[in-house]
Structure 1
């Protein structure tokens, strides 16, 4: 390490000596993660430091906010598995450290945030604010909103596997909004479903070429070619409209699982043949109102949140049957679920009025092992690995 100063005044002195173009890392006060940037200038009168981050964006901070300066590479910092939870009751996103099951940060976003997606490299989080007609873009290094994109009635959101593009369903005008994650600008908008459509949720295939979009009102699944924007629309369930809502793709891309909320079933759709197998779920099939769905990283099981029971159904993706129903007093009008990258735990949002909890499921035993505290009335959840040195 060439240099490391701890006090603000000393840090200011260091910047007076730096040459333009020097790559440095600075540690802000009350932060544990250094920020790597290319130094540009220092104004000794205002104390402002300017530089460029790795993605090309401009970074400006007062030297009084700097706790330390590293003029040589910072030792690798540990990666963390984090959950980002949307809280519809207080317009925030809770950041949960999975290792400790504690909320480590709370981020204010737009009006009534519902769904959330994390880029594969863990650099950005995209949050749909359905009443605010916007998408909030969160920088996971600082856990702050770096941009708000105007999008009409956004609902579902998904990011392509290469991290280049975010797709957002627009629930009122029946379209998909396409966002460049590099520039965080809208690059396209096109219709989806059969007009007048009401797209709710979206999942993207592992190869990034196909989007699967649900429409609860019409009970359909739109299979969208993301290169040509052509699409095939399937009507799902036993009794249309069955209420297609939650959607998840198996890791190998061969199947899509869709929850049919209105009839208490899940459709397993073969992505090649488009053949559909309908699976009853919940304590009382027909009234369980299945909502969110997630598939384990090994692809062997689908976990379905039944909002009305409340319970979580476990589906064997090979046998296409419900093999377990998880119940617990801790589940409270549960809505959505995400599974950790190692496949060991599932996290379920409890969206009951006044609730502020997320329930934790041990995948090995299929039991609820506890709750953690987040914001008010949590709804959407995304889990991913965030590595500060890769930001």
Structure 2
């Protein structure tokens, strides 16, 4: 899955629906067709949303406005409006037995791994329709994660024991790399150099060098599943089902050695990390709880009850405001049509750099101290959509968007 971070809402009442206030984590409850909403400030469940049958994967758009849920039991994706925590629209039909899903870093598309039909559905976020389906990546794609620049997507292929690497521009398979038995969860380091994989079938974590495609292994215990890399890339956290109290393995990425293990609930599965990198959330499938982990002290803060068979979790990302102005500059016979973008640094992360996308294409990378950008030599009377990703110490941290129509 993609990096996911906090977003703030005001408390208002709108046509009988409550707009929620605070920071939230969303947990898919595979056993009862619901999603639990956790207020991360109080670590309490503040609501439950009914979705489709057997919800599994979940991700939140970079602007924090919508959560997408893969319903494994009925082959659909539900869309949740996070401002009112309600499912909106009709379920989106995808392939058979969808498992993991992830949203592109620019927020324009959702990729859904369909384990049963052995293909991938691509949903256009603007229309919430499937615009493409591609296969040929292996037997039973399961979970997935994007590189921070969105150029590649990595899939665990659970029946083949492989990692499939796909070019997002062409949807072509770049490589299929043997990684271990029954690969489940995965995550990529902020620098894009390493993918860590939980291999449930052989008790090991697979470590993939994305340049050389070389693989090394870290022995864990029984059935590693969920994977999350820390925001600074120095540690990776991997859940491990050893039962009845499962474990969270804390691994030093410099040495690829386990430095600590924490006891979780029964059936520890997915994992996600808060925007500030301090807290992790782990659904425990067998006992219907979520373990809340303080990553600073490496201790369990609390364990809270959610729905039946919780499996994966996603935290709302942080956004920031971007303003834009369409301009033109004429000199002699030449006219430059351009757009100027300006923004303020996000409040809750330390920004390392900004990635500027125009209509889903990366056009610039800026240092943290530059908070404006001029996009030159554009076409007249053309509408352009811009996405700016503020990368923190561990990748995509906050997102700003603006749409502009150029001058005539």
Normalising by structure 2, we get a TM-score of: 0.72
Spell out the pairing of 1:161-240 with structure 2 (5 A cutoff).
161-194=105-138, 197-231=139-173, 232-237=175-180
State the Cα deviation string for residues 281-340 of structure 1 (Å, max 9, x = none): 13xxxxx10011111111111110102241111111111111111125xx1121111111
Contact 1:82 / 1:385 at 8 angstroms: preserved in 2? no
Q: 2:259 aligns to what?
A: 323
Unaligned stretches of 5+ in structure 1?
1-30, 36-60, 68-76, 283-287
State the match for 2:290 in structure 1.
Answer: 358
Note the C-alpha offset of 1:78.
10
Alignment partners' CA distance in 2, 1:387 and 1:166 = 19
Mark the structure with the bigger radius of gyration.
Answer: 1
Aligned to 1:250: 189
Cα drift, residue 132 of structure 1:
1.3
Does the CA contact (< 8 Å) of 2:11 and 2:21 recur in 1? Answer: no
Count of equivalent residues: 309
SS class of match (1:335): coil
The structure in which a higher percent of residues are strand is: 2
C-alpha displacement of 1:278: 0.8
Partner SS for 1:110: coil
Note the aligned Cα RMSD (angstroms).
2.2
For 2:215 and 2:255, locate their aligned partners in 1 and report how far apart those are by CA, in whole Å.
14
**Segment drifting more, 130-139 vs 355-364:** 355-364
Structure 2 distance, partners of 1:332, 1:66, is 35
Contact 1:291–1:304 (CA<8 Å) still a contact in 2?
Answer: yes
Q: Which moved more, 1:213-222 or 1:306-315?
A: 306-315
Answer whether contact 1:82 1:386 (CA < 8 A) is retained: no
Q: Measure the CA separation in 2 of the matches of 1:167 and 1:175.
A: 10
Listed as ranges, the gaps of 5+ residues in structure 2 are 1-9, 322-399, 402-408
Aligned to 2:69: 127
1:18-57 counterparts in 2 under 5 A?
32-33=11-12
Question: Which residue number in structure 2 is paired with residue 345 of structure 1?
Answer: 279
Structure 1 range deviating more: 162-171 or 142-151: 142-151
Question: Which one has the bigger helix percentage?
Answer: 1
Q: State the TM-score, normalized to the length of structure 1.
A: 0.75
Quote the residue 1:383 is aligned against: 315
